[in-house]
Amino acid sequence: MISSFFSTRGPLSKKLTHYITRDAQVEMAEAVVCAIDKKEQLLVEAETGTGKTFAYLAPALLSYNKNNDASIIISTGSKALQEQLYLKDLPLLIETTGFTGSVSLLKGRSNYLCRERFNRFILESQRKEKALQITLVKIKNWSLKTKMGDISEIDFLAEDAFILSAITSNNDNCLGRECPCFDDCFIVNARKKAMQADLLVINHHLFFADLAVKETGFGELIPEASVYIFDEAHQLPDIASVYFGESLSTRQLIDLAKDIDFVYRMELREAKQMAKAADQLRVSALDFRLAFAMDKGTGSWREKSKQRVMQLHVQRLLQVMQFLNSVLLERLGKSELLDHCFERLATFTLLFKKLNEVNSSGFSYWFDCSAQHVTLNITPLSVAKRFQEECEKKNAAWIFTSATLSVQGKFHHFMDLLGLQKSKALQLNSPFNYAEQTLFVVPRLFPEPGTPGLANILVDELSPVIRASKGRCFFLCTSHAMMNQLAIGFRQTLTLPVLLQGEKSKQALLKEFVEHGNALLVATSSFWEGVDVRGQTLSCVIIDKLPFSSPEEPLLKARIEDALLKGKDPFFDVQLPQAVIAFKQGIGRLIRAEQDKGVLIVCDNRLVTRKYGDLFLNSLPAMPRTRTLQNAIDFLKNID
């Protein structure tokens, strides 16, 4: 019985100090055992503190001991959780369960150093600034020592350092078996280990990337398994939509032009026409991005492509791609790298044509503008059928778990998005005493979202609360505009440190937040989930408004179109459930352990003035509620 494993006299209790049996953890573990034995689909919403990680790991490991062909794949929503499982949780449970199988960790290609691209970058950077040369020497020394080649080991580089894209590879620029470094390739070696593993830890992006590769019939990235476990499963529908769709960016075209230019400079100096044609591609890609100069973020490519000016840019870019194709065709066989560039160009040309066939039904066509590039995307309106087919194709157990899968105790929204109609569902409440540990505030008389000058009002009204909390506060926003306005206002009003998302990497900001001990962090979606700050370092979480996504946001727009086609109500069946799940993620940042205490403030009166507000309120734990900020100040002053 799995319950004996988690008992106060069981093997786990002997490894953990102050161990206590958690009823919810045992209940989840028993459900996972049943799903594995019967090869069923299981959904588990396990709130913070239930111990869900051990509740699915232990049954999976013990099932392998009982039946040695029960190979296991565990997929997470973040690399941080992936590493925590592999480096911390699994070693402990492998020892306590007596698991004898092999274990491996696999990340996406761009997480590993590419020796070929690194060597090429060194050649290209010989005359660059001294600081870059010093960095390259450090990376070279690390590359000679590392066994995995995982760039997360390079602790002297920021997560968003520009050099990382130059020394890693992607599906476009990897040379495969033609690469001179193939026999010593980090990603190849990692994939070999993964294919032989009895238990493999991956992330959701890699899971769907594998499905995409298998559909082409040209290989696979991960092995088949008897047990599939998805942690942070609420992220699956969005990630599936991306991988079941297709995209092409100006960055890919510019990178291709750079690689062709490298061939010209290093191998084929006589091919001047090739260099000129590659430069034309670079310029045309830049011009194409400039055609979106008035656009920010995402938008409808189906509508944008109808503009006459945009049609001219499309025609020009396509002509340049076709001309470059004819130039490269004349030089095939003279360079392995050039041959690979030719294949990439052919793929990009076909994809660009497909992305401009915007009248195809069943898909959403959209663009995404960053500061330097634009990406064109085609996304299916629904991924339910394809994901359901994948589940039915494999004779395996499928377990989906997260702290946020349900809306008002029902799992229909998540199940419909992934086509999981045959799933059993289990909802487990947190063991935390929210009545004693928390206070929930919806301030009375705050202006409606979108009111002019709202940021200044929030700064004035909430600064006393943040002072009472001695910093130690997350202010989570639903837009970058509000985030930036609030940061400016709080920096003018408060004397304590005010940290702003985007000024440093996420991990650097979290580290600084903890080290300060009295900081305010103003952030947006990146910090709504996957952030674990325990203890009194975080005593207050403020949310500016209910997290409704814009109806123009591409994935949401696709689901709205799909709902309309099925005769559903887009607001109540799509937008509202999605907002409730995001809301639950945001409030989950506050209480992470039994000793934590804190205040949650939501600056949106729609919680009490709109009928749908009950959906959000009913998704909260049993927190004491108030409409008065002074009560929050008093609560915070008494925490210490």
pLDDT of residue 49: 84
DSSP for 216-254, written as a single string: HTS--SS---SEEEESSGGGHHHHHHHHTSEEEEHHHHH
pLDDT of res. 211: 85
Q: Which CATH number fits domain 434-637: 3.20.20.70, 3.40.50.11810, 3.20.20.140, 3.40.50.300?
A: 3.40.50.300
CA 514 to CA 516: how far, in whole Å? 6
- Give, in words, the CATH class of 246-380: mainly alpha
d(CA 599, CA 630): 12
Mean pLDDT on 508-517: 88
Helix then strand count (H, E) for the chain reads: 28, 18
pLDDT at 525: 73
For 559-571, write each residue's pLDDT tens digit: 888 888 889 999 9
- How would residue 486 be classed by pLDDT, with cut points 50, 70 and 90? very high
Residue 342 clears pLDDT 80, i.e. is over it: yes
pLDDT at 316 over 90: yes
Per-residue confidence (pLDDT) for residue 217, from 0 to 100: 63
Residue 533 scores a pLDDT above 80: no
Residue 346, pLDDT above cutoff 90: yes
Q: What is the structure's pLDDT at 424?
A: 92
DSSP bridge pairs for 520:
473, 498
The residues pairing with 103 across neighbouring beta strands, listed in sequence order, are: 199
> What is the Cα–Cα distance from 432 to 639, expressed in whole angstroms?
16
Could you tell me the residue ranges of all domains in the chain? 23-102+197-243+383-428, 109-187, 246-380, 434-637
| Residue 411's pLDDT band (cuts 50, 70, 90) | very high
What pLDDT is attached to residue 255?
A: 92
How would you write 453-464 as a 3-class SS string?
Answer: CHHHHHHHHHHH
CB atoms within 10 A of CB 203: 26
Q: What pLDDT is recorded for position 559?
A: 84
- At 163, is the pLDDT very low, low, confident or very high (cuts 50, 70, 90)? confident
> Could you give the percent of the chain with pLDDT greater than 70?
98
Q: Please give the angle made by the CA atoms of 533, 539 and 543, to the nearest 5 degrees.
A: 90
Residue 542's beta-bridge partner residues?
475, 601
Question: Looking at the predicted structure, is the pLDDT value of residue 544 above 90?
Answer: yes
**What mean pLDDT value characterizes the chain?**
89
Looking at residue 40, its pLDDT comes to 93
Considering the chain, what percentage of its residues have pLDDT values greater than 90? 52
pLDDT score of 494 more than 70: yes
* pLDDT score recorded for residue 355: 94
490 has pLDDT over 80: yes
The pLDDT of 299-307, averaged and rounded, is 90
Task: Give pLDDT, residue 32.
Answer: 96
The CATH number assigned to the domain with range 23-102+197-243+383-428 reads 3.40.50.300
Which pLDDT band, with edges at 50, 70 and 90, does 218 fall under?
low
Whether residue 216 is predicted with pLDDT greater than 70 in this model: the reply is no
Q: What pLDDT is recorded for position 28? A: 95
- In terms of residues, how long is the chain? 640
Of the listed ranges 187-201, 230-244, 287-301, 503-517, the least confidently predicted one is 503-517
Q: How far apart are CA 372 and CA 294, in angstroms?
A: 13
The tens digit of pLDDT for each residue in 581-640 reads: 988 888 887 877 788 889 999 999 999 999 999 999 988 888 999 999 999 999 998 886
Token code pair at residue 552: 């123009």
The 10s digit of each residue's pLDDT in 83-103 is 889 989 999 999 999 998 999
Mean pLDDT of the region 57-64: 92
531: nearest Cα among 583, 596, 471, 587? 587
Phi, then psi, of 247 in degrees rounded to 5 = -155, 160
Residue 134: what pLDDT?
86
* Count of C-beta atoms within a 10 Å radius of residue 228: 21
Q: Is the model's pLDDT at 288 over the cut of 90?
A: yes
C-alpha neighbours within 13 Å on the C-beta side of residue 173: 24
Where does the pLDDT of residue 15 fall: very low under 50, low under 70, confident under 90, or very high at 90 and above?
Answer: confident
Reply yes or no on whether the pLDDT at 19 is more than 90.
Answer: no
pTM over 0.85: yes
- Say if 23-102+197-243+383-428 and 434-637 have the same CATH topology: yes
User: 177: helix, coil or strand?
Assistant: helix
Assign 423 a pLDDT band (cuts: 50, 70, 90). confident
